[in-house]
Chain A
Amino acid sequence: MTVSYLLRRLLFTLPTILGVIVIVFVLLRVVPGDPIAMMIGSEATPEDIQRLREVYGLDKSIPHQFVVYLGNLLTGDFGTSISLKQNALTLVLGRLPATLELAIVAMVIAVACGLALALVATYWRKSWVSPVIDAFDSIALSIPEFLWALLLVLAFGVLFANLPISGRFDPARQTDFVTQFYLFESLLRGRFADALDLLRYLLLPALALALPLMAIISRVLSGSLREALGQDYILLARVKGFSAARVLLRHALPNALLPTITITGVHFIFLVGGTVLVELIFSYPGIGNMLFGAAMNRDLPLIQSVTIVFALLFIGLNFLIDLSYTLVNPRVKVG
């Protein structure tokens, strides 16, 4: 992997970003819903409505608005939120850490459980364990995240009311976090009581997001492991007298991991996208929750900022996934 390759890849992302900006901008102006219509009083005259349009920069033609918007973007100005009346980018970046923490915890749960299920199912593939795990995977996969969220609210929020079902941490708790990465910060600062509290609030939304991905990982890895176990080098390992567990963990697993990494990376992007509804159900103050509020209020600058940041995140993740192939499997050539 060379610097020129990295630069070339970065350069290729620019048209994608521009495309996203154009599509989001145009779509938002085309879909029904005028932010001014949602705020005017009953005595507003056409002149008052026009004045409000001027205040919010909506009085110009769409191409004119786009040129102004693009010019502002180039200077790092994403505009001011109509409903929150603050810098849109600052607002989005303020919420992004919460979503990233949620997605990462969900990812950790999904990978750990998916890996464990795949190994158990493969190890005991000729017993009743394997079909049971298969059935569990099918259920986990066929129910979407938001429905898992509602089921978890019912199960752990009401029937066995041990876990919190709304928010990010106990509202009664006084906090003095320096960053928005509350969980990572509290772990780094050794404030384990805070970390535990944050984990309690994170667990259910993260689980709702993790369950479908966990099933995917379990399925893909099981398939790869079974395929690997039929290879000659596995036969050789067995002939050498290695134990079944060693054959599975040391020989089959490393070779079976590559497709799982690929699919996990791709699905992590979907997982981040899935946070919108899950955050809403658990009142989790992340970027998805903010996007919903912005959409309801037709807060154009905020919707644009959230979408562009989401797009940048996806492009960045894709970029990292591509790079990870070359690191995990040297046979994959770059360029």
Chain B
Amino acid sequence: MLKIGRRDFLVSGTAASASAAIGVQGLGQILFSKEARAAIGDTLTIAYNVAPPSWDPNIGPSSTNPSLQTIYRTIYDTYMMQREDLTLAPGIIDQWSWNADKSAISLRVRQNGTWHDGKPVTPEDIVWNLRRLTDASLGAPLQVSFAGLKNFKIDGQTITMDMTQPWRATMLERLAFLGCFLLAPHHHEKVGKEGFERAPMGSGPYKFDQYERGSFLRLKAHPGYWGGKPLFETVIFKIVTDAASRVAEIERGSSHVTMDLQYEEYDRLRQKSGLSGVAAPTTDIAMMFFHSTGPMADINVRKAAMHAVDKKLIVDRLLRGYGKPVDTLSVPQEKVFDQGIVTQYDPKLAAELLAKSGYSREKPIEFTVQTTRGFRPKDYEIVQAIVEMWRQVGIKGNIEVYEPAKHFELRMSHKLAPAAFYVWGNSMGDPETSIASAIRSVSPHSSWKSPDVDAIADPLFGERDEQKRIAGYQRLNRYVAENGYLFPLFQIYQPVVFKSELDFKPHLAGYVLPTAFGRK
């Protein structure tokens, strides 16, 4: 065996002691220095789940990504605002109206709006943004929705424009929704597209301070905000895409707010001292697309697939009660919601319907069911539960897991499987962007395509009488439910955990806006 010599021992010992003295001091500083466990002073820190790819919220994929709305709405104003219940509220545009025959819109620009550099928001600035919104050459995915806006005229603080074809009853609501954020024209023209990506400027409650891409976004209160100076001087969005890390962030106190957690974690966290939670309903609906060809062309199979599923059981067991079963593609908070549309859980009826088409538990109908796994809370487990319920009545569902990107590609090319799980978001709260988008044949988002539906849905796009329009959509919802063209499952609740010192006002669209937080 090797022995340690005296000299070796002394030399090694001295070296080790010296290293230890230096190392321990350094390591001590690293390990035990001031932790970013900030008390809520002037800074609100939010552990957020999505990083904004671009600071142009109107062009490119960012413009259609609902998850980015919270951050965009913190920096930019939309033309009008959306209240927590999704009704329109004054924003930079403080008055809006249609003309009598709904062929023109007028918008009044508020007097006291300012860009983040202090310059006033003028009607010319708004028209610059409107022209950009309708410019086909920019490649904005939502441009087609606004292509009917033409002939912008300014008179004092008021802008008028014609609403030509494609005419949209929801044009005013759309101006408070996706892709309608106001950018500072003078700044955009001065710094250019790439410069704007480095230093964006809007007129929202918080102004851009620093963005460490993929790590954090630091914002400072906009003192000239028309709605009054925001409560927190600084807002930090920590970009924490991993759900376990978000839980750790709030649990250790280095963030004050987080969201998009598993419901088990939500329940655990909100019971901890110093933390509170809200799981509020949103307009997101978990649903299943049915394909209009193949096995789902048989109405008995479709209806059986719907009657066989106990949605309440899924919500109670898998989502710990945080959800509400729905039978149409609308939620109770929407004006189109019709509580008379009900698809009963009735496995006996499901079996009878299948028997009519010659299927049974012994001789089941077999088809593929597509789902993501881990993209939405419990998505795969929900589909597993559904497949098991189907098995009980005579449907054999073969689960195929795919990525969201593949879902979108298959959906656009009308190649989804006979059944495909998806979460439909409708932050505008109008049936035009829910049932109509999900079911019209011309929509690239529909999987069921049939002329009978189009005959009901298409005329509603041109309907100028609001009552008739909503009644028409209620009729469409009932027709779709009766024929089982798509399968709504449940309304999704958004879990938000935050420090107990804070108050939080949830938004039906699921936004977690810094301005929705107050101090107790």
- The reply to whether B2 and A244 form a contact with Cβ atoms under 8 Å apart is yes
Contact of B408 among A37, A41, A248 (CB under 8 A): A37
Q: Which residues 24-62 of A sit at the B interface, judged by CB distance below 8 A?
A: 32-45, 48-49, 51-52, 55-56
Q: Is B505 on the interface with A (CB-CB < 8 A)?
A: no
A297 CA / B37 CA spacing, docked (Å)? 33
Which A residues lie within 8 Å of B445 (CB)? 42
CB distance from B58 to the nearest CB of A (A): 11
- The reply to whether A45 and B442 form a contact with Cβ atoms under 8 Å apart is yes
A175 CA / B2 CA spacing, docked (Å)? 53
Q: Is A308 on the interface with B (CB-CB < 8 A)?
A: no
Which B residues lie within 8 Å of A255 (CB)? none
CB distance from A224 to the nearest CB of B (A): 17
A82 CA / B141 CA spacing, docked (Å)? 12
Q: Is A167 on the interface with B (CB-CB < 8 A)?
A: yes
Answer whether A37 and B409 are a contact pair too, CB < 8 Å, given A49-B444, A161-B253, A200-B30. Answer: yes
Answer whether A199 and B30 are a contact pair too, CB < 8 Å, given A40-B141, A282-B245. Answer: yes
Interface residues of B, dominant DSSP: mixed
Q: Is B98 on the interface with A (CB-CB < 8 A)?
A: no
A37 CA / B441 CA spacing, docked (Å)? 16
Contact of B8 among A246, A284, A285 (CB under 8 A): A246
A164 to chain B: closest residue by CB: B36
Which B residues lie within 8 Å of A33 (CB)? 403, 405-406, 408-409
Which A residues lie within 8 Å of B409 (CB)? 32-34, 37
* Among A66-74, A149-157, A316-324, the stretch in contact with B: A149-157
Q: Is A4 on the interface with B (CB-CB < 8 A)?
A: no
- The reply to whether B194 and A32 form a contact with Cβ atoms under 8 Å apart is no
Contact of A42 among B30, B38, B404, B437 (CB under 8 A): B437
B405 to chain A: closest residue by CB: A33
Among B8, B402, B410, residue most surrounded by chain A Cβ atoms (within 10 Å): B8
Q: Which residues 322-368 of B sit at the A interface, judged by CB distance below 8 A?
A: none
Q: Is B61 on the interface with A (CB-CB < 8 A)?
A: yes
- The reply to whether B408 and A52 form a contact with Cβ atoms under 8 Å apart is no
A284 to chain B: closest residue by CB: B215
- The reply to whether B403 and A32 form a contact with Cβ atoms under 8 Å apart is yes
Q: Is B392 on the interface with A (CB-CB < 8 A)?
A: no
- The reply to whether A281 and B61 form a contact with Cβ atoms under 8 Å apart is no
How many residue pairs bridge A and B at CB < 8 Å? 220
Q: Is A328 on the interface with B (CB-CB < 8 A)?
A: no
A34 CA / B33 CA spacing, docked (Å)? 47
- The reply to whether B443 and A42 form a contact with Cβ atoms under 8 Å apart is yes
Interface size class of A (residues with CB under 8 A): 35 or more
- The reply to whether B141 and A167 form a contact with Cβ atoms under 8 Å apart is no
Q: Is A95 on the interface with B (CB-CB < 8 A)?
A: yes
- The reply to whether A167 and B238 form a contact with Cβ atoms under 8 Å apart is yes
Q: Which residues 169-219 of A sit at the B interface, judged by CB distance below 8 A?
A: 169-172, 175, 196, 199-200, 203
CB distance from A174 to the nearest CB of B (A): 8
- The reply to whether B144 and A43 form a contact with Cβ atoms under 8 Å apart is yes
Q: Is B54 on the interface with A (CB-CB < 8 A)?
A: yes
Q: Which residues 234-270 of B sit at the A interface, judged by CB distance below 8 A?
A: 234, 236, 238-242, 244-245, 248-249, 251-254
CB distance from B115 to the nearest CB of A (A): 21
Q: Is A126 on the interface with B (CB-CB < 8 A)?
A: yes
Answer whether A171 and B216 are a contact pair too, CB < 8 Å, given A32-B403, A33-B405, A283-B240. Answer: yes
A81 CA / B56 CA spacing, docked (Å)? 13
A51 CA / B135 CA spacing, docked (Å)? 12
A167 CA / B236 CA spacing, docked (Å)? 12
B166 to chain A: closest residue by CB: A43
- The reply to whether A165 and B248 form a contact with Cβ atoms under 8 Å apart is yes
- The reply to whether A41 and B64 form a contact with Cβ atoms under 8 Å apart is yes
- The reply to whether B236 and A171 form a contact with Cβ atoms under 8 Å apart is yes
Other A-B contacts than A37-B413, A42-B437, A166-B47, 12 sampled, CB-CB below 8 A, are: A32-B406, A33-B409, A34-B408, A34-B409, A34-B412, A38-B61, A44-B141, A52-B139, A153-B245, A175-B210, A283-B242, A297-B53
Interface residue ranges, B against A (CB under 8 Å): 1-5, 7-8, 12, 26, 29-33, 35-38, 43, 45, 47, 51, 53-54, 56, 59-64, 136, 139, 141-145, 166, 178, 193-194, 197, 210, 212-216, 218, 234, 236, 238-242, 244-245, 248-249, 251-254, 402-406, 408-413, 433, 436-438, 442-445
What are 30 of the A-B contact pairs (CB < 8 Å)?
A32-B409, A33-B405, A34-B405, A41-B145, A42-B445, A43-B437, A43-B443, A85-B193, A85-B197, A87-B194, A150-B244, A157-B248, A157-B252, A161-B35, A161-B37, A166-B238, A166-B240, A170-B36, A171-B215, A171-B236, A172-B43, A172-B234, A200-B33, A243-B8, A244-B5, A245-B8, A247-B2, A248-B2, A281-B245, A282-B245
**Minimum-distance CB pairs A-B, first 9:** A33-B405, A244-B2, A42-B437, A55-B139, A243-B5, A32-B406, A161-B252, A83-B53, A285-B214
Interface residue ranges, A against B (CB under 8 Å): 32-45, 48-49, 51-52, 55-56, 81-87, 94-95, 123, 126, 150, 153-154, 157-158, 161-172, 175, 196, 199-200, 203, 243-248, 280-286, 289-290, 292-293, 296-299
